[in-house]
Each structure stands twice: as structure tokens, then as C-alpha cells.
Amino acid sequence: MRDINDYIPIVGQSVIDELKLLAAKLEGKKIQNINSTLIGGGVAEILSCMIPLLRQLGVDAGWDAIKGNERFFNITKNFHNALHGVPVEFSQDDFDFFVAMNRENAAKMELYGDIIFIHDPQPIALIEQRERLGGKWIWRCHIDITQPQPEVINFLKGYIERYDALVFSAPAYALRTGLPQALISPSIDPLSDKNKELPQETIDQVLEKFGIDKTRPIVTQISRFDYLKDPIGVIKVYQKVKKYLDCQLVLAGGGATDDPESLKVLNEVKSMAEGDPDIFILFLPPDSNIEINALQRASSVILQKSLKEGFGLTVAEALWKGKPVIASAVGGIPLQITHKYSGILTRSIDGTAHYLKQLLNEPEYAKRLGANGREHIRNNFLTTRHIREYLLLFLSLYHEGEVVRL
């Protein structure tokens, strides 16, 4: 169990002192976070780190996940894809089913928060309970909604507009609405198993377990097996580079309990990689934090070739480990990488392959990018900054009409 004071050597005493002061002002308020999975994906990653720290600060914070069946999660994954701009067809029945499942959850779960903090679209319709329960309601969207399918965003707006405040991960995602909106980036926890320092021995053991050769360059992408993470594109990049340079490719990730597509994507990726012993497709069980940490630390270069991305926590995780990252210029990734300063931003397979060759050939340059990236993450994307902004947001709900600086 981490202690909030353990963060002092990383972020400084004054940051922690301020968190304690802000937390004290929330005494007596229960904060209930609700999302749709306790395991897998960025939202669960953040909540699992943040809730224990909030509680240590004395904030009465809790976390519950709504339940759903296969049909529900198929619909919500389609919502997710459609909000990212992927064309998907919906029937009225899908929308009705979605609402009915939210109502069923509301009937079964305890909604106890003075502040109910809803994450992403899956539980958004719980806001229907507001009239009955009162309290303050926040909706946080972790998705890039700059080019949403109109049918879905219009449907969701019917719920969004009933909240007290909205939170988005990047300025570009803000919605036209009269509601207070906070722009709060996600964060990583530098002391979690996923991100803490590891002894070389542990890193070597993980490589050995997966049969990866530590003496040759390793190029890695960590992501759920999802089309929007473009694992197929990653293999194409690797194949282009492999003609000129000896390297290994690691594609590691699992699924999420609210993502029904991962096995299909995994099988496609596997068949594309077949016959190449230097491609490692690792379907990891949940809670493979040390393994992921070790794979990231063992990598020469880390890729994040997403086609769409809300924020991209894996980029922050890699940069925090001082790794050179080549990532697509989508969603929240440009917030994390300044091109050619703290990483590389690309827009195509050819571009990614070009820079991958360069970084593998120029390790000193690659190292400099990684070092700059680490400082950028320290200054902007650690959990302490995130907690501070959440505490201010919660407090702002009780000071309506006043300006709150985040």
C-alpha cells in the first residue's frame, strides 16, 4: 500500500501539502465513481491508483462498476467506436436496450455519493436517478469526441445536459453547452507496479519468461487488442524496418471486460505475425503490471500507432520510463509529445517506419527524446496533479457561479 507521503521525493512537499489542505475541505462528502469495468483499459487503471490515494488523503471516495451482458457491451463498444468517428449502424432497439440496462443497474446498485462521478458513456443514463436522489453529478468523457457520429452524440446529449459539470481530457474535446466544463488530463501513478523502478533482474526474468532476446533491439506496443490501436499497422511498420535492421517486435495487451472485440482482433494479429519468430504477440492476463512495466523498460523504442486515442496512458507510461516513443498525432497524444523534442509524432505507416529506423540507428538521440519526455510527464501527467484538479472540481460544485482555477 502506497503512502501519499511517498510521492514527496517525486513532486515535492508543497504539492502534497496542498492536496491535504484541499482534501480536508471535502470532509463529510462521499464521492462515488462509476464506470463499466473494474479491469482493463485506461479508466480502470486510473481509478485503481487514485481511489486508495484519495482515501488516504481522507476523502470518502468509492468506485463501483455497472454490470452488463454481451449485448449491452456490444452496443457500448459500438458507441465508443462511433464517438471516435467510426461508422456504425444503430437501431432504436439498441438505444432502448442501453437505457433499460442503465435503469436495471440503477435499481440494483447503491447510489450513495454526495457527488456521483460517472465515467464514459456506458453508465451515462444513471443521471435519470438524479431527481430521485439529488446530489451533484459529474460526467467525465475519456474519449476523443471531435468527430462523433451525430446519431450517437445527439442521443448522449440528452443525458449529458442533465449533469452539473463535465470533464474532458483535452481542450479540443469540449462541447458546446452551457454547463461548467473542466479540462483535466489523465495521469499515471509513478509508484504503481506498472510504473515503479524495477531491478534489472526482474526485467530480465520477464524477457526470459516470454522468450525475448535481451541482446537485440526490442520495439514494443502495449495496448488492448483493438482496431483503433492499429496492431496490424504496427506489424506493417516492423516488417518495413526489419528489412534493414535486426529487431524484435512485442505486441502486448489484454482485453477489458467491457470490450467484446479483443479476441477477434487478437486472432487477426496472430495470423499476420505467423512464421516470424521475432514477433511476440502476448495476450496478458489482467494485473500484468510488472510484466508491462518490464517490457516497457526493456524496449529500445515504444510505439503507439493508434488511429484514435482519448489520451493514451501507455504513452505517458513509456515516457515516464525515459523511453523514446513514436506515436500517432491523434487524440491526447500531442499533449504528451512535442515532435522531435519529447518523442516523435507520426501520421502514417511509412512515417513511423522512417522514424523507427532513425531511433534504432541513433540511440543517443533516442535517449534524449526519452529524457525530455520523462520531465514532461513529471510536470504534467502524474497522479498528484490529477488528484489536485479533481479536488478543486469537487469543491467548485459547492461554490456555483464562482470562478475556480484548476
The residue within the footprint of ligand UDP, chosen from 284, 290, 307, 329 (CB under 6 A), is 284
Nearest CA-CA partner of 11 in 267, 320, 352, 263 = 320
- Binding flag, residue 331, ligand UDP (CB under 6 A): no
Cα distance between residue 272 and residue 277, in whole Å: 12
- Our CB check for ligand UDP shows the closer of 64 and 291 to be 291
Part of the chain binding ligand UDP (CB under 6 A), chosen from 132-140, 155-163, 273-281, 311-319: 311-319
Tell me the closest approach of the beta carbon of residue 377 to ligand UDP, in angstroms. 13
Q: Using DSSP, state whether 18 is helix, strand or coil.
A: helix
User: CB-hemisphere CA count at 13 Å for 176?
Assistant: 2
Part of the chain binding ligand UDP (CB under 6 A), chosen from 6-14, 117-125, 308-316, 355-363: 308-316
Q: Using DSSP, state whether 23 is helix, strand or coil.
A: helix
- Our CB check for ligand UDP shows the closer of 304 and 396 to be 304
Q: Enter the C-alpha cell of residue 86.
A: 467510426
The residue within the footprint of ligand UDP, chosen from 167, 292, 344, 360 (CB under 6 A), is 292
Cα distance between residue 184 and residue 394, in whole Å: 13
- What are phi and psi for residue 239, nearest 5 degrees? -65, -35
Part of the chain binding ligand UDP (CB under 6 A), chosen from 83-91, 306-314, 319-327, 397-405: 306-314
Task: Classify strands 181-183 and 301-304 as parallel, antiparallel or unpaired.
Answer: unpaired
Tell me the closest approach of the beta carbon of residue 351 to ligand UDP, in angstroms. 21
Q: Where in 200-259 is the site for ligand UDP (CB under 6 A)?
A: 222-224, 253-254
The residue within the footprint of ligand UDP, chosen from 72, 280, 311, 320 (CB under 6 A), is 311
- Our CB check for ligand UDP shows the closer of 49 and 366 to be 49
Q: Cβ distance 294 to 203 under 8 Å? A: yes
How far is the first Cα of the chain from the last one, in angstroms, to the nearest whole number? 28
CB atoms within 10 A of CB 28: 6
Q: Where in 40-79 is the site for ligand UDP (CB under 6 A)?
A: 41-42, 45
Sheet holding 165-168, edge to edge: 60-65, 30-35, 115-119, 136-141, 165-168, 181-183
CB atoms within 10 A of CB 192: 16
Part of the chain binding ligand UDP (CB under 6 A), chosen from 98-106, 209-217, 305-313, 379-387: 305-313
Q: Where in 72-111 is the site for ligand UDP (CB under 6 A)?
A: none
- Binding flag, residue 173, ligand UDP (CB under 6 A): no
Applying CB under 6 A, what is the total number of residues that bind ligand UDP?
17
Q: Cβ distance 11 to 380 under 8 Å? A: no
Q: Enter the C-alpha cell of residue 89.
A: 449502424
Q: Enter the C-alpha cell of residue 316.
A: 505517458
Tell me the closest approach of the beta carbon of residue 306 to ligand UDP, in angstroms. 8
- What are phi and psi for residue 252, nearest 5 degrees? -125, 135
- Our CB check for ligand UDP shows the closer of 45 and 94 to be 45
Q: Cβ distance 309 to 330 under 8 Å? A: yes
- Our CB check for ligand UDP shows the closer of 288 and 383 to be 288
Query: Which residue is at the shortest CB distance from ligand UDP?
Result: 42
- Our CB check for ligand UDP shows the closer of 40 and 68 to be 40
- Binding flag, residue 307, ligand UDP (CB under 6 A): no
Q: Cβ distance 185 to 167 under 8 Å? A: no
* Residues of this chain that bind ligand UDP (CB under 6 A): 41-42, 45, 194, 222-224, 253-254, 284, 288, 292, 311-314, 317
